[in-house]
Amino acid sequence: MPFMSEDFLDVSTFTSSRLPRLAVVLALWCSIAGAASPSEKMVFNVLSRDEGLSQVTVNDIFQDSRGFVWFATENGLNRYDGRTLLQFHADPADQSTIAHDFVWSIAEDGHGDLWMATEGGGLVQWQRATETFKNIVVPGEDLDPRKRFARQVMIDHIGSLWVGTRGAGLLRFDEQGQFTHRYPLGNEQQSPAEDDVIYALLEVSAGTLLVGATSGLYTFTVETGTFESFPWSYSDVSTLYLDRTGILWIGTLEQGLVRHNLKTGEALAFNANSVGPARLGNNEIRDVLEDTEGRIWVATHDGLHLFLGENQGFRIYHHNDRDRFSLSDDHVMSLHQSEDGVLWVGTRLGGVNRWNPDSWTLGALTPPILENTAVLSFEDAGEGRIWVGAFSTALLQLDTRGNVVAEFDRESGYVDRGDAPVSALLRDSENRLWIGTMGEGLQMYLPGQNQLHVMRHDPTNDESLSADGIMSLYEDSQHRIWAGTFGGGLSLIDPATLTATRYVPGTRISAIREDTAGALWLGTDGEGLIRLEPGSGSVHSFRHSPETAGSLGSDLIFSLHISQDRSLWIGTSGAGLARLRDTEEWNQDPSFDHLGTADGLTNNVIYGILEDSARQLWLSSNRGLMRFNPQSDSIRYFPRALGLQNEEFNFGAFHESRDGQFLFGGTGGYNAFDPMEFGDLDQGPRIALTEIEVANKPLHAVAMLADTGGLALDYNENAVTFEYAALDFLAPENNLYSVKLQGFDQDWTQPSKRTRSTYTNLDAGHYVFQIRAANGYGAWSNSPLEIGVTINAAPWATPQAYFAYCILIGAVLYGFFRWRLRVIEREARIRQLAFYDRRTGLPNLDLFTQRTAAALSEASDDQRSLVVITLRLKTIARLRNILGLGSVDELLSTVVPRLTQQMFGAGQATTTCDLARISETELAAYVLLDDPKSEAAIWANRLCKAISTPVYHDGRQLHVSVFAGIATFPQDGNTAIKLIESASTAAQDNDVGQAENFAFYDRSMTRRAIDLLSLESDLRQAIRENSLEVYLQGKFDCGGVLVGTEALCRWMHPERGAISPGIFVPLAEESDLILELDEWVIEQVWRCLHHWQKNYPNVFGIAVNVSADTFVTGRIFAVLERLRDRYPLGPSLLEVEITESVLASDLEKVTLALRRIKDLGHMLSLDDFGTGYSSLTYLQRFPIDKLKIDQAFIRDIETKRDQQALCSAIIALAQSLNLQTIAEGVESQTQQDLLVSLGCDRLQGFHLHRPESIADFERRFFKSDG
């Protein structure tokens, strides 16, 4: 029960007073405390009609050799397995049922059969093998019905059965139940009475019985068959018991109880008229029992009596209407102790009571003064006494029996003690008693001086107590006193000045503990866990966060404990028991472990934590007491029935006394016990089968099946249900079970309280059903109970049938496997296509992404960095269009092995590096590196070099242009996809100019890539909306006369301004817009020429540079044919310029295309000669008209002789082939003069004419003519 805010009051005073000496008050209370001495309580669990008992009068209780407990009632026989009561009743139509429902007594023979004495049915045998009854017939019983009124049955040491009757004397039967003799009750001096009842039989030695009857007590000698009256005169002897010391206890129906020493003959009588403590509550004695601890229990008509000794007499336990755990009825009829130590008490009107003697070990104490209140705190008081704080009562001092020694309050002379409940207590190393109250501050009691000082909160004094409600008190290793307050935080108390230093103000400190480093751990009410370093004042808080794994499970903390292994254990409200594994290795973001109801706790509210010497934790909760073993993770539960003061305990009410006693308080008093008296339980319960159903029909005699070889079932009986029970009655409601059907189940089922298991559709074969069980304390059975189950095969499942099936199935399987093999091969091909590039065999993007993600995890584990390198093959698309798809495959088949050799050497792909083809023009690799910045550049250079090394195709030397983009984890991306995207972006960024053949990714690249995407979209729109413009640059002869022009495309972007052709033309080539761009330019030029031809007399031809894609794909012919039909034009005016890359394509296709151009009447010029695929073969074979010298050879011609030599050679070559030469990029008069001197035919460049719009060109060169 936690504190509530209304329990704490804020008042602000400070007082100190000298009080009367406490010793006087203590002596006064010692003189009167005996009147309120509490006794040890018994907590009973009841079995009555509501629980299935056939009738509430229980005449006898017996546990058989199998562990079942039997109850003899006036209306049937009952068998109890801890869960179910099975009733047996008489049925006149069924001879296998019990002869009569009124059963007096039960005994068991050496074969495990039970024998019952019945009222009107005589002696009855229950045969275990068949679980049926056999009614024993006594000769002449039809003439003498008294023989059928059996009152008591006993089996002697040789197995003979003795039956005491009502009026028919003593009957003897052999082991098989055959009647052998009848002995009328009496002797030579006394004739047998017709109504004399034999109530009790006892074998005191071999051949000697004691017989208790209505007429008295007799000694019966078996050899002579004679009775002799007992030396003492007793009548109505109802029960006889011989204890372990040889003392005979004789119970009577009217004269009470006699304790008789058989050796000395001394006798001591106890009755209701006795004077002193040995007085009985009633003289009617029904049964006597000595338990395993040597205690003598007596069943009387006035409650259950416990014999405490001759001087102490009896402790009597009665029924209490206000206590549901009290004795159910004061008229006690029978007693029995089962092998697990449980005491069974049968009553006249209240059924059966079950009491666990372990409950006394827990030491439940409820002094009258603590009834109807709640214990809040404990502390040692010395001499084995304790201080106890509780609601609605004074501060109490109690002795070990729970007797009140003293009350410490106003009425006892301690005026300043106040009336507020004592919520916390601390006895410090100086023997001062600190008393924390709910609302009246902190009090310090000095026993030696008999002084009480009171500290209160003062809003005007910062050194006063921080709040008047005290939730916790603690003395640290430096003997400093700390007080946790309600709403005022933590106060460090100076005992000398009674001043306080305040920490963590505003919090409610519910628990305080110090770790080995001297730091304080503070539990709070609603604000989580706090770590305070008193020296520095540093504070760290730990709160519950649903989104954070491993965070504290609850911010409401009731208790803290630091165990011997330095773990901090935290008792929470709602989150069970939390653990911080090492207080010395803590960090600011620790991970907490939690133990809750899902792990075996009975409740998720933990009020108190104490650790015993075996390092086990004792936990008080809202549902009983628990003991948790951190080494084995085992939990033992102590419910109310085991002697707890109540199921509910209280916050703060737990304490380990200086003599090792544990104290836990709650709403029903408190428990005080030695924790080491509860050892580990190594003896689990016995297990029994209680019912088996086959095809929904119950079987008989199931308890014996485990001993007789098990079940044999037909093939159609393949549904079996087992019911079972753990025959342990300490806390049967908490027994657990785990089962396994060998041959069917792979593992044991999870432990549960389920006692029924069903298996259906079992195949033919042999199975073994196994049952394990744990008792209410958690001790598991040493070995499982096993029962074999054999299900016979159906006729069509014989070996002969299977042989025929095998032949048939073999044929089917052969066909199936062939089909399946084809399916597997097809699936393998599909997987190959899904995850690998068909042309190179390298992983594709999907597989590469998966492997990169896996490598990220490995990189995180071994502290290496993952680098992704994307290799952009810039010329692949152009080579594909020029040389054909097969040539690209051949090129890749050469390049990929080089890369593989660089990546893996002679090995294969590993988790540290991998290579993939992620798109048509991109390869990608990842590597795990220690120094990514420097090593990544080395890797990129190495891979680029492997690609850029020339490749030979059809006798041609091809150069593959490559650029690498590098992305590093985690700077450039924290996922595989992001890293690949970043590296690809970096590889695409080289067009802006890079000094190296690689670039490291930065965010600006993404912006530029996005910008290029936008630009591409704008370009597409500009082409379709005619927003581009054609410029013309003139071509001149050696004398400076204009003889032709070249069309140049220009783009004035509406927002970006002029866009360089060096940007948008490559962009068009990469995005397949080049076809549309070429078509647009050709149409604009054609229309211009058509206009000139109609309006001007002297028209110049215009050269148009056509891309390789437009030319090789043949699209140029469709454009030319369309324009020729629409705008008639002399074809010689349109000159088609192609680059050397076009000539390196398929020779046959190129030759046909060039000839077709010539056939259409157009001029052909070869642009950029000498920069690419230069070959004399091209010039000889193809119908080229003009040869253009690239400006790269013109740029430094006036200063570099090698440039002059090259230009001279090209001009000479062209002249030898009758080709006209055109020099591009003429920028100065010197260059012009030099080229003219070398024999160049035509000149073009800025020195002669800067490109201008068609309109400006017309004004410059045509308008003046007009």
Residue 770 lies in a domain: yes
Contacts of 1172-1175 with CB under 8 Å at 24 or more apart are: 1172/1139, 1172/1140, 1172/1141, 1172/1144, 1173/956, 1173/1140, 1173/1141, 1173/1143, 1173/1144, 1174/1140, 1175/1143
**Same domain flag for 1131 and 1078:** yes
Name the least confident of 682-696, 880-894, 950-964.
Answer: 880-894
Residue 1010 lies in a domain: no
Number of domains in the chain: 3
Residue 333 lies in a domain: no
Per the structure block, which two tokens stand in for 828?
Answer: 């393998």
Which has the closest alpha carbon to 414: 4, 816, 745, 22? 22
Q: Give the domain CATH number at 953.
A: 3.30.70.270
Residue 255 lies in a domain: no
Identify the pLDDT of residue 953.
67
Could you tell me which residues are beta bridge partners of residue 513? 521
The CA dihedral of 1185, 1191, 1194, 1196, to the nearest 10 degrees, is: -170
Per the structure block, which two tokens stand in for 1067?
Answer: 């962009």
Give residue 887's pLDDT band: very low, low, confident or very high (50, 70, 90). Answer: low
DSSP state of 537: -
CA distances from 209 to 184, 213, 777 (A): 14, 13, 41
Give residue 679's pLDDT band: very low, low, confident or very high (50, 70, 90). Answer: confident
Separation between Cα atoms, residue 487 and residue 120, nearest integer Å: 76
**Chain Cα centroid distance, residue 486:** 36
**Same domain flag for 1074 and 1186:** yes
- Burial (CB count within 10 angstroms: exposed 0-12, middle 13-18, buried 19+), residue 492: middle
Q: How many residues does the chain have?
A: 1266
**Structural domain boundaries enclosing 788:** 687-796
Which has the closest alpha carbon to 1206: 1180, 1164, 1240, 1179? 1240
**Same domain flag for 928 and 1058:** no
Give residue 372's pLDDT band: very low, low, confident or very high (50, 70, 90). Answer: confident
Give residue 873's pLDDT band: very low, low, confident or very high (50, 70, 90). Answer: confident
**Same domain flag for 975 and 1115:** no
Name the least confident of 245-249, 255-259, 809-813.
Answer: 809-813
Q: Which residue has the higher pLDDT, 286 or 1025?
A: 286
Query: Would you say residue 1129 has pLDDT above 90?
Result: no
**Same domain flag for 996 and 1053:** no
- Judge contact between 1185 and 1220, C-beta under 8 A: yes
Which has the closest alpha carbon to 988: 892, 1083, 872, 907? 872
Separation between Cα atoms, residue 925 and residue 172, nearest integer Å: 99
Residue 1078 lies in a domain: yes
Give residue 371's pLDDT band: very low, low, confident or very high (50, 70, 90). Answer: confident
Q: Of 972, 1001, 1030, which closes a domain? A: 1001
Per the structure block, which two tokens stand in for 694?
Answer: 């086959």
Query: Would you say residue 9 has pLDDT above 70?
Result: no
Q: Give the domain CATH number at 700.
A: 2.60.40.10
Using a pLDDT cut of 70, give the percent of the chain over it. Answer: 91
The structure tokens 């690689």 sit at 998
**Same domain flag for 1185 and 1096:** yes
CA distances from 289 to 243, 296, 1020 (A): 8, 6, 106
Residue 63 lies in a domain: no
Per the structure block, which two tokens stand in for 601?
Answer: 């706790």
Query: Would you say residue 1208 has pLDDT above 80?
Result: yes
**Same domain flag for 969 and 1060:** no
**Same domain flag for 946 and 1087:** no
Residue 891 lies in a domain: yes
Mean pLDDT value across residues 213-238: 91
Separation between Cα atoms, residue 573 and residue 565, nearest integer Å: 24
Per the structure block, which two tokens stand in for 613?
Answer: 């010497």
Mean pLDDT value across residues 913-927: 88
**Same domain flag for 1203 and 1093:** yes
Identify the pLDDT of residue 883.
59
**Chain Cα centroid distance, residue 312:** 57
**Same domain flag for 1167 and 1072:** yes
Separation between Cα atoms, residue 856 and residue 840, nearest integer Å: 25
Separation between Cα atoms, residue 115 and residue 111, nearest integer Å: 11
Name the least confident of 47-51, 356-360, 808-812, 1171-1175.
Answer: 1171-1175
Residue 665 lies in a domain: no
Identify the three-state secondary structure at position 753.
coil
Identify the three-state secondary structure at position 1258.
helix
Q: Of 1001, 1030, 1050, which closes a domain? A: 1001
Q: Give the domain CATH number at 1185.
A: 3.20.20.450
**Same domain flag for 1130 and 1223:** yes
**Same domain flag for 918 and 991:** yes
Q: Of 764, 796, 828, which closes a domain? A: 796
Which has the closest alpha carbon to 511: 534, 532, 533, 483? 483
Looking at the chain, the number of H-run helices and the number of E-run strands are: 20, 82
